[in-house]
Amino acid sequence: MTKLKISEIIQIINSLKKAYPDATCSLDFSTPFELVVAVMLSAQCTDERVNKTTPTLFSKCKSIQDYANIDINELENIIHPCGFYKNKARNIKLCANQILEKFNGEVPHTMEELISLSGIGRKSANVILLEVFGIAEGIAVDTHAKRISNLVGLSTQKEPEKIEQDLIRIFPKESLKDINHLLVWHGRNTCVSRSPKCQTCCINKFCKHYLENSKL
C-alpha cells in the first residue's frame, strides 16, 4: 500500500477536485432500474455508446415489469451496439425478474442484496449505491481506477476488490463519494492508458510512476 501521508492524500483529492469540478456519473438515467441497466450495458463498453443506446430501450421499457416481459430477441437487437448483447440481455431480464420476485419491484439498497442480482458485481453495486441512494461505502474500481492506483502507487494489487480495499484504507470516508468520479475523469482526460499526460498531470508530484521515470 502507498507510503503517502494523509496530508498528501488530501492534496491529491483537492487537486483532482480543482481539475475536475464537474466530475459526475456520465451514464444517463432517470429511474433506479435504468441505472442498473445502464451499468450492465457499460461493461466493456464506453458510457458514450451506452448513452446513445439506452434512449430507445428506456422509451420501450417504462417499468421493471416491462424489462421482465420484453422479448429477448427484441432486447438483444436494441442493445446490440453495446457488445456482449446476448449475455447482457439475459442478465437484464433475469435481474428484472429477481427484483420483482425478491424485492417487491424495488431496486435494493445494500451491497449484499445488489450483488445477489444477475449481472451485478461489486463495482456495479458501488455505482448504484452512490448514484441512486447516495451511499458511498466503497469505490468502483474500473479500468481507470485500477490504472491510476497502480501507477501512482496507491495499490500494488491487480484484482479490483483488493485495490478497492487499499483505497478505502487510504482515503477518508467522507471523500469516497468524490473519489469514485474523480478517478474516472482523471483516467479519461489525463492518465489515459496508451499515453498518460504525465507532464500536465495535476497529481504528478505524488505519482510513483512519474517520479521514477523523471529520474531516468
The C-alpha angle 180, 160, 20, rounded to 5 degrees, equals 20
**From 88, 93, 142, 166, active-site residue:** 142
Distance (Å, whole) CA 15 – CA 20: 9
Is 18 one of the annotated active-site residues of the chain?
A: no
Q: Cβ(116)–Cβ(99) under 8 Å?
A: no
**From 88, 93, 123, 146, active-site residue:** 123
Alpha-carbon distance values, 147 to 45, 87, 152, 155 (Å)? 17, 26, 8, 10
Is 123 one of the annotated active-site residues of the chain?
A: yes
- Active-site residues: which are they? 123, 142
